[in-house]
A and B are shown apart, each in its own frame.
Chain A
Amino acid sequence: MKGFDAKWRDVPHFIIGITKEIWEDREIASLTHRYREGLVVRSPASVLVGNDRIIAATMATLAEFPDRELLGEDVIWCEDPARATDATDAYLSSHRLVCTATHSRPGMYGAPTGKRVAYRILADCAIRDDHVYDEWLVRDQSAIVKQLGFDVVDWTRQLIAREGGPERCVQPMTPATDVAGPYDGRGNANEWGQRYADIVGRIMAADLAVIPAEYDRAVSLFYPGGQDGLGWSDADQFWMGLRAAFPDATFRLEHVIGRDDPLMPPRAALRWSLHGKHSGWGRFGTPTGADVYIMGMSQAEFGPFGRGGQPAVRREWTLIDETAIWKQILLKTGAVQ
């Protein structure tokens, strides 16, 4: 890890380590050097520019959820020689976390509910020079909202109002609000990443038969809204419901990582987008024709129990931010009251 503090053994150690230090050990000020000045952090809900914005957002979250814990489940990463220099190595890390927290203070989720929440985040961070310099992040907002006891659509409507109404509210990430950053890598060429990219690509091309062909019959599934599933039919229902709502949207694979580490299952991490009209019946109710941009992230672990002894997807995690999708739909339809 040339260019990084010598205390970090490897990419997962760095990512899991700085996450704990920033959030739980309250080294929030360290973001001034651990996050590049002027970096862009994209989440489906907003595009933030500058580490001062990240510091503010971190403090707002901790003010609302002071006991928040960030448990790093996995870090699926790749080398990035194109952006390495003589002084530093460069990497892209796709970090899967489980967060637990108590909603004990007022904040963007409204008045404190006292509820305990547990939800996942997938975060892609481009790192070099001992800091994060570009980021894409999907938080399972609908899981949080549901666990706090709210209806996802009602809560989104109230959020628009709390943010000052449809004209002034925070604009979700779309190609129009996105800001290009220095990282434009596409991942690595490892076969497991390619394999998973191909599977999700086939699903998005309506080839749902890929699920029984390429997923373990006992696959464990972790989907948006904190929805856990099991087996082929749950995978089918999730992906079907998503694609059915946006049948004409353009699917793009933005980033693909595969890894085959010793004594770990083969793993893959994808970042993808779906952009187009809300023109079908599916996960998001009556078609509205709203133009919607979805940033999605998926990770998978492969295992040995596929058809004919072939490898198959044994665990899958996919996140989209359903509140950001509803926000785009509500802003388009004007059904904000």
Chain B
Amino acid sequence: MKGFDPKFTDLPDYILKITKEIWEDRGLRTLDHYYARDIVMRFPSGIVRGNQGVIDGTLATLAEMPDRQLLGEDVIWSGDEDAGFLSSHRLVTSGTHTGHGIFGPPTGRSFTIRVIADCAAKDDVIYDEWLIRDYSGIAIQLGFDPLAFTRAEIAREGGPEKARRPFTPADDVPGPYASRGNDNEWGQRLADILTRIMDKDLTVIRAEYDRAVRTEHPGAIGGWSWDFAETQWMRLRSSFPSAEFAIHHVIGRADPGQPWRAAVRWSLDGRHDGFGLFGAPTGAPVHVMGITHAEFGPWGLRREFTLFDEISIWKQILLHTGDI
């Protein structure tokens, strides 16, 4: 890989190895090299700018859960050495909440959740990023109700005036990575499926998903077959029925010895004007950053992994209603 340290054989190897080096091997200062000085990291919970902020965030997380393990399930990628790569990296991360931090005083409980990180990489450096972790999945496993947890978080951050603002397009800082992915058919296929779901054409799930599909969604919940996937997507869309759906980045891959895979980053932007996952409609303006990974098989979409951050959605609702 031109521009990368020769110890990395390909992009997935680079992503898997630097993740381990940074977190589990405690190489926080490798971020001085692996992360661009002025990187923009977009989390649903807000924007972090600059690699020094990333180092501090990593340190704070490790101080709160020192045994945190990050297992890379897949890297679905596009691009090349010259234009820059985009790696959509799906991880399963587990840990024990033994220190103080954003989850409050230590609960001693353990969690296992998924994270998907979209990282732009070039010349051995990550220079742009979008990252969603299953924040409500952690909160639930630590014993908190997501809504009550969000209220407590707002209080910990100094109340509604001072609390950190979740990510919205208005706050976004454009980074150097501007590609929209690749044009592989499997990426288009997943993008079409998501678009039809968001157009409320729910028949697409029975048409395109394997009957034995396994679907993993936020809150660390998963289920079998069509009805689980349908229910999850209906409840999300029904919470924001008039919101605008947009697709931002699409990757498809057909690698030898691997299933067909796809990674799509998307958003829903609009009002909380329906029942679904977030209680009675409040009219709050809400931005939902989402990433979906899929594996296809001979009988349709076989495994679906979707993340959005329910806590950041609750936070936007609570900051709007003032029901703190």
Contact = CB atoms under 8 A, between A and B. Distances in A.
Contacts of B94: 230
Interface stretch (A43-51, A103-111, A304-312, A317-325): A304-312
A260 interface: yes
B138 to A, nearest CB: 16
B212 A218 contact: no
Interface of B: 9, 12-13, 16, 69, 71-73, 91-92, 94, 112, 211-212, 224-225, 254-255, 257-260, 297-299
B211 A230 contact: no
Nearest to B16: A305
Contact of B298 (A69, A231, A264, A266): A264
Which residue, B72, B91, B257, B299, has most C-beta atoms of chain A within 10 A? B257
A16 B212 CA distance: 11
B13 A309 contact: yes
A72 B259 contact: no
B260 A218 contact: no
Interface in A214-236: 217-218, 220, 230-231
A218 B298 contact: no
A303 B12 contact: no
A264 B297 contact: yes
A265 interface: yes
A266 B69 CA distance: 27
A16 B258 CA distance: 22
Given A69-B225, A230-B112, A304-B12, A218 B258 contact: no
B224 A98 contact: yes
Contacts of A16: 299
A264 B257 CA distance: 6
Contact of B258 (A73, A97, A304): A304
Contact of B224 (A71, A260, A263, A305): A71
Interface of A: 12, 16, 69, 71-73, 97-98, 100, 118, 217-218, 220, 230-231, 260, 263-266, 302-305, 309, 311
A266 B257 contact: yes
A48 B173 CA distance: 67
A260 B71 CA distance: 25
Nearest to B24: A217
B35 to A, nearest CB: 22
Contacts of A303: 257-258
A220 B257 contact: no
A12 B210 CA distance: 13
A231 B72 CA distance: 10
Nearest to A231: B71
Given A98-B224, A231-B69, A304-B12, 15 more contacts: A71-B212, A72-B212, A72-B299, A98-B212, A100-B225, A118-B224, A218-B71, A218-B72, A218-B73, A218-B91, A230-B92, A263-B259, A302-B257, A304-B257, A304-B258
Contacts of A266: 257
A8 to B, nearest CB: 14
Contact of A305 (B12, B69, B92, B212): B12
A305 B94 CA distance: 19
Given A71-B225, A264-B298, A305-B12, A220 B73 contact: yes
B9 A260 contact: no
Contacts of A230: 71, 92, 94, 112
Contacts of B255: 304
Contacts of B73: 218, 220
26 contacts: A12-B298, A12-B299, A71-B211, A71-B212, A72-B299, A97-B212, A98-B212, A100-B224, A217-B71, A230-B71, A230-B94, A260-B257, A263-B258, A264-B259, A264-B297, A264-B298, A265-B258, A265-B259, A303-B257, A303-B258, A304-B255, A304-B257, A304-B258, A305-B72, A309-B13, A311-B257
Given A217-B71, A230-B94, A230-B112, A263 B212 contact: no
A263 B255 CA distance: 7
Q: Please list the 8 inter-chain residue pairs (A to B) with the smallest Cβ-Cβ separation, ordered nearest first.
A: A218-B71, A71-B212, A73-B212, A218-B73, A218-B72, A98-B224, A309-B9, A72-B212
A259 B297 CA distance: 14
B314 to A, nearest CB: 28
Contacts of A263: 254, 258-260
A265 B72 CA distance: 17
Contacts of B297: 264
A181 to B, nearest CB: 28
Contacts of A100: 224-225
A72 B211 contact: yes
A59 B13 CA distance: 52
Contacts of B72: 217-218, 305
Contacts of B16: 305
A249 B169 CA distance: 63
A303 B72 CA distance: 12
Contacts of A311: 257
A305 B255 CA distance: 13
A218 B114 CA distance: 12
Contacts of B224: 71, 98, 100, 118
B75 to A, nearest CB: 9
Contacts of B71: 217-218, 230-231
